[in-house]
A and B are shown apart, each in its own frame.
Chain A
Amino acid sequence: MTLTVAPHRAPAAPQRGRGWSGLPTAGLLVGVVLLAVVASLLIGAKLVSPLDLWRDGSVGQGIIQARMPRTVLGVVVGAALAVAGGCLQGLTRNPLADPGLLGINAGATFAMVIAVSVFGIGSLSGYVWFAFVGAALAMVLVHTVAAFGAGGATPAKLVLAGAALSAGVASWTAAVLLRDKATFDVLRQWQVGTVGGRGWDVILTALPFLVVGAVLALTGARTLDTLALGDDLAKGLGRRTAVDRVVVGLGIVLLTGTATALCGPIGFVGLVVPHMVRTLVGSAYTRVLPLSAGFGAALTLLADVVGRVVWAPSEIQVGVMTAIVGVPVFVYFLRRGRMAGL
């Protein structure tokens, strides 16, 4: 990886994959994320003065304190989804892969519905675990089904198995919900995808899973670059592709499973952010994944901030806003150049 020193002015429409070397881009991203964090702490349905943070017992202090976990959650979940999405696209070599594709969201949703309906668990801190286990089981099941037959778990078979499982599990979920209105009410709140209203306790419990997932996914970047050459070539280079897939897959499950359990399904980020990053730095995963993390965090957080103010005094959940805010950004990147291949 050679780094070119960027000029001290904004580069004029650089070509794809060149001119935007890693370091300045990373610096820029860190800046954007920091800006988003500040905005997330200061902007909301109710205007508060930043000074309130030091006024004990004031309403403003409570509001800023409540925005803190929300901000942290936006950063980690946005980053997790974007990285997992990038990994999935590499693993399945399918540009349309997103965390919803492999049945992860469907599994998490179904497990959560079972938790509420059968076990009578009514609170987030309780069913978060079910959602997580459901996501993991779905992924394992998809991988097992895809591994049948010749050639093992090929990308195409993974996608097929994921789509089939999603459809099947979604119908089970619907069956439970039709019989149980109380569960439907709980699910309705969770299914939109939100980073608001979660306390530190839930976030801190989930953090280790996210960290392990991120380590597995980011260290898998080289693996993905090799897999991108095709299985035969990768094997020829001495990679054990099956083991590689399981390791990266585990990272994906940890990231998306935890993110989905925490916030409900948030779409768009995992699908689109890696593509945006590829238009900047090309398709090497060693660069795509870390930058996706920053991009995902910034996009999710900004989407949440916009969702807080466009419809005041109510809020629009981030699961809705990521797409609304994300589409124009995505179009801008598309216009800058052709999508990088996988």
Chain B
Amino acid sequence: MIRRSLLTAASAVLALSGLAACSTGSTDSADTGQESSSKADSGAFPVSIKHAYGEAKIEKEPKRVAVVGVDDADMLLSLGVVPVSIPKVTWGGDEDGTTPWFDDKLKELGADQPAILDQTDAVPVDEVAKQNPDLILATYSGITKAEYKKLSEIAPVVAFPDQPWATPWQDSLEMVGKATGRNKLADEVEAETEKTIETAKKDNPEIQGKTFVWASLATADLSKIPFYTTEDARPEFLTQLGMKNAPYVEANTKKGQFFTEVSAEKASELKSDFFFTYAVEDKDAETFRKDKLIGQIPAIKNGHMWASTDNVASLAAGIPTPLSVPYAIDEFVPGIVKAVEGQ
């Protein structure tokens, strides 16, 4: 018995030490928020926004918005509001940890770069608190209940509406618009983005109605085929462009799972017109093609695979926002067209 209680105590200590997450690099928080280039709708406040963990009650127009979610910074900027802090983009970003489309919009607004917080390990609650925000956005994120509770003590938090990592960009935009009192502008931005996608649809007739698989093959383990399900935002962008999820992907999507994997022995069943996968090196494509099993995936066999090493473009398409969609259409869609046409 004594030994058992000792063990329990030891594991508790271990668990606690794991909680002591470290945070890195913050810049000094400015005293004042940056000037917005847009105005809140009259009568927009007070407002309350429902989400998975409860309700965010926002009394008056927020002046210092901290971003914890992944696409919220883009949403905010597209509404002319500059955040005080944003999460570092560790995959598909540049040296500083931001994306080109974010930086371009920032320049256009004539604003300074907000504080960039590293969230690789966990949400750096202390760093967020230092920014002294009056609103925290996490509409497209995977924040835990515990993180939500801590953040709520700093300022109202708008978490994801239903499932973590499964908020369509339109919903994110609408929530951010509501939280900042820019509902009308959010509608306009959404319409404009939809129009951009419509135009891209017209400009690329060759991909209409074509089925696809969005996979994440790894040369480190070719015995399985990991892919994103119909519930994920990535495939959603391609369906918006007029493509269709492969029947096999639809059949193997379970509720609440945005990602799944099947054995590479099932390769021949993954029928689609187009196969997208991330890759680390250019020569990975050859590795996939040559593999006895992976090479049996019909789209790979027929020369319709795109193994992209351009993480920036993949990120733009993978997490579509009003700012990243134009970039994705310029940099990502041509790759699809090429693969669909089999070049």
A interface vs B, CB < 8 Å?
44-46, 59, 62-63, 65-66, 70, 116, 120-124, 178-182, 185-187, 189-190, 192, 194, 196-199, 264, 308, 312-315, 317
Task: Name B222's contact: one of A120, A122, A197 (CB within 8 Å).
Answer: A197
The smallest C-beta distance from B295 to any residue of chain A, in angstroms, reads: 8
| Complex CA distance for A315 and B261, rounded to whole angstroms | 8
- Interface stretch among B4-12, B142-150, B284-292? B284-292
Chain B interface size range: 20 to 34
A308 neighbours in B (Cβ, 8 Å): 263, 265
Residue interface bits B170-213, CB-to-A below 8 A is 1, else 0: 00000000000000000000000000000000000000000000
By a CB distance below 8 angstroms, the chain A residues around B291 are: 66, 197, 199
**Additional pairs, 18, CB under 8 Å, beyond known A62-B295, A62-B296, A192-B221:** A45-B265, A46-B266, A46-B269, A63-B265, A123-B219, A181-B91, A194-B221, A196-B264, A197-B221, A197-B222, A197-B291, A308-B263, A313-B262, A313-B266, A314-B260, A314-B261, A314-B262, A315-B223
Give the distance in Å from the alpha carbon of A316 to the alpha carbon of B90 in the complex: 29
Centre residue among B281, B284, B295 by max chain A CB count within 10 A: B281
How near does chain B come to A248, taking the closest CB pair, in angstroms? Answer: 31
Contact present for B252 and A66 (CB under 8 Å): no
B311 contacts chain A at the CB level, 8 A cutoff: yes
Residue among A66, A123, A180, A181 making CB contact with B281, cutoff 8 Å: A123
Tell me which of B266, B295, B296 contacts A45 (CB under 8 A).
B266
**Which one of A62, A70, A120, A178 lies within 8 Å of B121 (CB-CB)?**
A178
- Set B223, B252, B269: member contacting A197, Cβ < 8 A: B223
Verify B293–A194 contact, CB threshold 8 A.
no
Given contacts A66-B264, A178-B121, A197-B264, whether A185 and B218 have CB atoms under 8 Å apart is yes
In the bound complex, do residue B262 and residue A45 qualify as a contact, i.e. CB atoms below 8 Å apart? Answer: yes
Evaluate contact between A182 and B263: CB separation under 8 angstroms: no
Chain A residues lying within 8 Å of B263, measured Cβ to Cβ, are 44-46, 308, 312-315
A63 touches which of B120, B287, B293 (Cβ 8 Å): B293
| A122–B223 touching, CB < 8 Å | no
Give me 22 A-to-B residue pairs in the complex whose CB atoms sit less than 8 angstroms apart, sorted by A's number.
Answer: A45-B263, A45-B266, A46-B263, A59-B268, A63-B292, A65-B292, A66-B292, A122-B219, A181-B90, A182-B311, A185-B91, A186-B220, A194-B223, A196-B222, A196-B264, A197-B291, A199-B292, A313-B263, A314-B224, A314-B260, A315-B223, A315-B224
Interchain CB contact under 8 A, B296 and A198? no
A192 to B311, CA, bound (A): 25
Report the minimal beta-carbon distance from A92 to chain B, rounded to whole angstroms: 25
Pick the most buried of B218, B265, B269: most chain A CB atoms within 10 A of its CB: B265
Output the nearest chain A residue to B223 by Cβ-Cβ distance: A196
A222 vs chain B, min Cβ distance (A): 39
Q: Give the shortest distance, in Å, between B264 (CB) and chain A (any CB).
A: 7
Q: Which residue of chain A is the closest to B22 with respect to CB atoms? A: A178
Q: Which residues 268-292 of B have a CB within 8 angstroms of A?
A: 268-269, 279-281, 283-284, 287, 290-292
Across chains A and B, the number of contacting residue pairs, with CB separation under 8 Å, is: 100
A332 to B325, CA, bound (A): 60
Question: How many angstroms between the C-alpha atoms of A65 and B291 in the bound complex?
Answer: 10
Chain B residues contacting A196 (CB-CB under 8 Å) are 221-224, 264
CB distance from A11 to the nearest CB of B (A): 38
CA distance A44 to B291 in the complex (A): 17
Closest to A62 in B: B292
* A186/B265 in contact, CB under 8 A: no
| Inter-chain contact A122/B281, CB cutoff 8 Å | yes
Q: Enumerate chain B residues within 8 angstroms of A182, measured Cβ to Cβ.
A: 91, 280, 311
In the assembly, what is the distance between CA of A39 and CA of B128, in Å? 55
Distance between A38 CB and nearest chain B CB, rounded to angstroms:
17
- Of B221, B284, B292, the residue contacting A189 (CB under 8 A) is B221
What CA separation (Å) do A48 and B18 show in the bound complex?
Answer: 46
Q: How close is A122's CB to chain B, nearest CB, in angstroms?
A: 3
Interface pair B287/A59, CB less than 8 Å apart:
no
Q: Per a CB cutoff under 8 Å, which of A123, A194, A197, A312 touches B283? A: A123
Are A190 and B220 within 8 A (Cβ)?
A: yes
Q: How far is the CA of A317 from the CA of B226 in the complex (A)?
A: 14
Task: Kindly list chain A residues whose C-beta atoms are within 8 Å of the C-beta of B264.
Answer: 66, 196-197
Write out the residue numbers on chain B whose beta carbons fall within 8 Å of the beta carbon of A45: 262-263, 265-266
What chain A residues lie within 8 Å of B120 (beta carbons)?
A: 178-179, 181
CA distance A120 to B262 in the complex (A): 28
Query: How far, in angstroms, from A317 to B221 measured CA to CA in the complex?
Result: 10
For residue B221, which residue of chain A has the nearest CB?
A189
Kindly state the separation between the CA atoms of A180 and B224 in the bound complex, as whole angstroms.
24
- With A and B bound together, what is the CA distance between A24 and B224 in angstroms? 39
User: How far is A145 from B196 in the complex, measured between Cα atoms in Å?
Assistant: 64
B14 to chain A, nearest CB (A): 14
Residue from the set B218, B221, B279, B290 with the largest chain A CB neighbour count within 10 Å:
B221
CB of A44 within 8 A of CB of B220, answer no
- Chain A hits for B280, CB < 8 A: 116, 122-123, 182, 186
B residues within 8 A CB of A124?
219-220
From residue A232, how far is it (CB to closest CB) to chain B in Å?
36
Whether B219 and A70, one on each chain, are in contact in the complex, defined by CB atoms closer than 8 angstroms, is no
Could you say which residues of chain B place their CB within 8 Å of the CB of A59?
268, 296
**A45 to B281 CA separation, bound complex (whole angstroms):** 29
Chain B residue contacts of A315, Cβ below 8 A:
223-224, 263
| CB-defined contacts of B90 to chain A, threshold 8 Å | 180-181
Return the chain B residue nearest A121 by Cβ: B281
- What 0/1 readout, one digit per residue, does chain B (116-142) give for beta carbons within 8 Å of chain A? 000011000000000000000000000
> Which residues of B from 67 to 83 have beta carbons under 8 Å from A?
none
Cβ-closest 6 pairs across A and B: A196-B223, A122-B280, A197-B222, A45-B263, A189-B220, A197-B223
Q: How far is the CA of A66 from the CA of B266 in the complex (A)?
A: 12
| Contacting pair B222 A198 (CB below 8 A) | yes
B223, B260, B261, B293, most chain A CB atoms within 10 A:
B223
A63 to B291, CA, bound (A): 10
